[in-house]
Structure 1
Amino acid sequence: MAIYSFFSFKIITLITALFGILCLGESSNFSGSFVFGDGLFDAGNNNFIATLRKSDFYPNGIDFGGPTGRFTNGKTLVDILGVLEGVNYASGGAGILNETGKIFVGRINMDAQIDNFESTRQNIISSIGLTATMQLFKKALFFTSIGSNDLLHNYLIPSILSTAYNDLVPPQEFVATLMSKFSLQLTRLHNLGARKIVVLNVGPIGCTPNQRDTNPNILLDKCVVFPNWLAQLFNTQLKSLITELTTTLEGSKLVYADFYNVMKDIIDNYSKYGFENSDSSCCYVAGRFGGLIPCGLKSKLCLERSKYVYWDPYNPSQAANDIIAKSLLDGDTNIISPINVRQLFQS
């Protein structure tokens, strides 16, 4: 499959770059990155699968030199964080549950992403041996951003298009199901060698242009209450899960990154950050907020991309990603805990 050819290229690049790092011995605290998640992190993996969730066409990537498959106008959050050598498994539309995102047809959900990492692991072991590979993973940074599609494109979509969780179970039970599954996934990553793991929570999905447009009864300047409540329910349980796993997964350093409140502060105080619009898509086709149709070839563009918080119906612009990245890199424990990304990098 094409997706594995893409990963193979990345694996060769990773191994070549890391031979030199490994030679530095114990004084080097960093050996590469492994990225898992959804469209917030996807750097082009969906280009290689049959899916309705693609962004490998103009005007996506207009500030990156051209479309790459990133769901933004320029750099993603992990690009800005300086995640250089490594492998990115993230996929737009992906979720914790395997049935999430089926409305997009193809997507690489979290279980499949970890399967791909396991293949990467075996390839690296074949090249440098088990001991060196486990040492590499011990120093590497792992990033995850997953869960928003389980809410937006599973629980919150009409039952005719979904598994009808919203008709069958209360939100508390659905979120508990997500936590149980994600706990197994993080444990599996640990068992495969991951130690330093940054886990982003779910953002304020009720503030996205998509949710504003699909809930037309809201006031013009207000986010949609229920999706944000659902995200906060998810995040509360996620934070407890991270605390629990930190104590049970030996040698792990799990970091909880509060993407929700960083993004919400940008939205609520957008002018303070230099933005002029915090509720609409810069790349738009239809809807009062430009949130009804994904960014595509027939889309119109806002005049100043750096003045918009949102690039498309769901994802931040590069300007917003810049601010979020800086918050996670050097933020205090109100934003990212127990340590920030820079401190994790140096640990």
Structure 2
Amino acid sequence: MARLISILLFLSLLQLCPKFIVSLTDEPGSASFVFGDSLVDSGNNNYLQTLSKADIPPNGIDFKASNGQPTGRFTNGRTIADIVGEQLGQASYALPFLAPNTTGAAILNGVNYASGGGGIVNGTGAIFVNRIGLEVQVDFFNTTRKQLDEVLGEEKAKEFLMKKSIFSVTIGSNDFLNNYLFPLISATVRLNQSPDAFIDNLISTLKTQLTRLYSLDARKFVVGNVGPLGCIPYQKSITRVNENECVSLPNQLAVQYNAQLRELLADLNKNLPGARFLLANVYDLVMEVITNYKSYGFKTASVACCGNGGQYAGIIPCGPTSSMCDDRSAHVFWDPYHPSEAANLVITKYLVDGGTKYISPINLRQLRDL
């Protein structure tokens, strides 16, 4: 009888304290904590009053997990973060931080904090009214960090973050497109800051936030540089360049920022004990796909599949009234700003298993296995 009472008491404690179920019976697998902008947003902006949303069709039309319904992802299917998680063996996609079900054991797959319109500096994306910048995203992770202690216990939570979790940061494009280069505000910004000063501020702010994540036990990082912004359908449409041309100024600024980012990550690798910072060379990788699009099975690297306006359908964002291409897998770009799922698959292949030209000093699979 005493033995039965002990068993019943133990089971009741498990019900009262779910963290024991995880720590005693389950060994958490790999997890992905995702920070960034609309390139990797998995639905956080659905919960904001914002002009930057992808919760309307035909966004998500090829996203099998939702049966083709929009989820807030700014593409026709999976984002790069989704595909990376799949290929590294993650049990399910990292849920948006703002989703009400992102609690308890669900956070052991990781959490997505990315927000369409968000940037490195707080002022970026103000034209969208609401968005989550990098500083607030890291604040949100601080909340998750405390929840992990509750779910796993302090010691296991720290080990889980240091050894089994990858922290990906995909941000910076909006700081140029919707800040320094945005037609309505760029004149004032450029008057107050030279390109050098603006980029210095981006790098300094990014360093602060990456260091904050390190202080919260993040150890395995992959940071994407800024892609060739002058080659997206939006920039090509508003400047009316030829199909085989890109707009020079956005690309020049991206190259300048990327050079400083490489130096920053090298510095962090040197000065933060136990940390591994990988550089995802998105600029050269996307340029490779754009330049040699036919060899990857695409029919165009200039025209958006879903959008309207201009030669490249790059002025009006994708929505229910937009024109949409017949073969989504034939387009590098889904809409005026974002790659298609087909392009994301090509990009991810290089990041997960590729060589040092596009992901360095090691690739993502090697980072996971450290």
Q: Same fold (TM over 0.5)?
A: yes
**Structure 2 unmatched ranges of 5 or more:** 1-18, 93-108
Aligned length: 327
* The one of 157, 167, 171 aligned to 2:191: 167
**Structure 1 unmatched ranges of 5 or more:** 1-14, 25-29
Distance 2:243 2:145 in 1: 49
Change (3 A) 1:23 1:271: closer
Give the Å deviation of 1:131.
1.4
Deviations 1:174-227 (A, max 9, x none): 1111000000000000001100001111111100001111212x2332010110
Give the Å deviation of 1:20.
7.4
Contact persistence 1:34–1:87 (CA under 8 A): yes
Change (3 A) 1:129 1:340: same
Deviations 1:103-130 (A, max 9, x none): 0111011011001100011112123222
Identity of counterpart residues, as a percentage?
47
* Higher radius of gyration, 1 or 2: 2
Distance 1:191 1:153 in 2: 30
Change (3 A) 1:326 1:16: farther
Change (3 A) 1:331 1:71: same
Q: In the alignment, residue 30 of structure 2 is paired with which amino acid?
A: S
Distance 2:136 2:45 in 1: 13
Across the aligned residues of Structure 1 and Structure 2, the Cα RMSD in angstroms comes to 1.9
Query: Residue 193 of structure 1: SS of its match in structure 2?
Result: coil
Contact persistence 1:37–1:90 (CA under 8 A): yes
Contact persistence 1:154–1:163 (CA under 8 A): no
Task: Give matches, 1:44-123, under 5 Å.
Answer: 44-64=43-63, 65-81=68-84, 82=86, 83=90, 84=92, 85-123=109-147
Deviations 1:310-343 (A, max 9, x none): 0011100000000000000011111111100010
Q: In the alignment, residue 172 of structure 2 is paired with which amino acid?
A: G
Tell whether 2:148 aligns with 1:148.
no
Match in the other structure for 2:102: none
Tell whether 2:351 aligns with 1:328.
yes
Match in the other structure for 1:11: none
Distance 2:303 2:211 in 1: 38
Contact persistence 1:278–1:310 (CA under 8 A): yes
Distance 1:57 1:21 in 2: 40
Tell whether 2:318 aligns with 1:295.
yes
Match in the other structure for 1:208: 232
Change (3 A) 1:16 1:342: farther
Q: In the alignment, residue 173 of structure 1 is paired with which amino acid?
A: A
Distance 2:27 2:131 in 1: 37
Q: In the alignment, residue 116 of structure 1 is paired with which amino acid?
A: F
Give the Å deviation of 1:260.
0.8
Give the Å deviation of 1:23.
3.6
Deviations 1:144-200 (A, max 9, x none): 101000011000012x43583222222111111100000000000000110000111
Distance 1:145 1:78 in 2: 9
Q: In the alignment, residue 286 of structure 1 is paired with which amino acid?
A: G
Q: In the alignment, residue 69 of structure 1 is paired with which amino acid?
A: G
Task: Give matches, 1:230-241, under 5 Å.
Answer: 230-241=253-264
TM-score under structure 2 length normalisation: 0.85
Tell whether 2:303 aligns with 1:280.
yes
Q: In the alignment, residue 280 of structure 1 is paired with which amino acid?
A: V
